[in-house]
Structure 1
């Protein structure tokens, strides 16, 4: 699915928070267990991190060509969260859903 001709039409946004002292550890784990397997299956993926005093928030945005492609890969409703094995150990609370947005316009260089 990760072909140069694929264009993103859908953004799937996941958010999770961890205790600040475990942020580096979770970031590495999240990449290996969650992001790396996703890279070749989507049009693109971006990760964001905001360090706060007592916690760190991570945001992952994956880009898909369609809702159908997302559903075909996950085998479930696109808004369902697919928790990683160690998420209950790391995350302050387990997210109950993700946000799905239709990409309307893109301007400039975002990649």
Structure 2
């Protein structure tokens, strides 16, 4: 199966909570996502006072994504402890059609 959809989530934590959130997010959010998506990438950018996390998951189509994310795949399903870590709770995710992919990213 080839992905045709990318689902992008972004969240920011205070810099001092970033390491703890990274570990929590992986266990509670990324591991279950890995089992369902065709691929998952996670990113982290540390700034002076905050860290931004970005998760991109790849899906065969909107229907496959909806089986994981619910009938509205743009709706956020916050992790149980997100409010302890995140500066603000994200209100939506970005969904993009994947047009082309070149090179190795694995």
Name the TM-score class by shorter chain: over 0.9
Q: TM-score, normalised by structure 2?
A: 0.97
Secondary structure of 1:40 counterpart: helix
Query: Mind listing any 5+ residue stretches in structure 1 that lack a counterpart?
Result: 1-5
Match of 1:82 in 2: 77
Q: For 1:99 and 1:75, how far apart are their aligned partners in 2?
A: 15
1:16 aligned to 11, 19, 22, which one? 11
2:39 aligned to 37, 40, 44, which one? 44
Q: For 1:56 and 1:21, how far apart are their aligned partners in 2?
A: 9
* Pairwise CA distance, 1:46: 0.2
* Pairwise CA distance, 1:72: 1.8
* Cα deviations by residue, 1:22-68 (Å, 9 ceiling, x for unpaired): 00000000000000111010100000000000000000000000001
Match of 1:70 in 2: 65
Match of 1:3 in 2: none
* Pairwise CA distance, 1:76: 2.5
Extract structure 1 runs of 4+ deviating beyond 3 A. Answer: none
Match of 2:21 in 1: 26
Q: For 2:53 and 2:68, how far apart are their aligned partners in 1?
A: 23
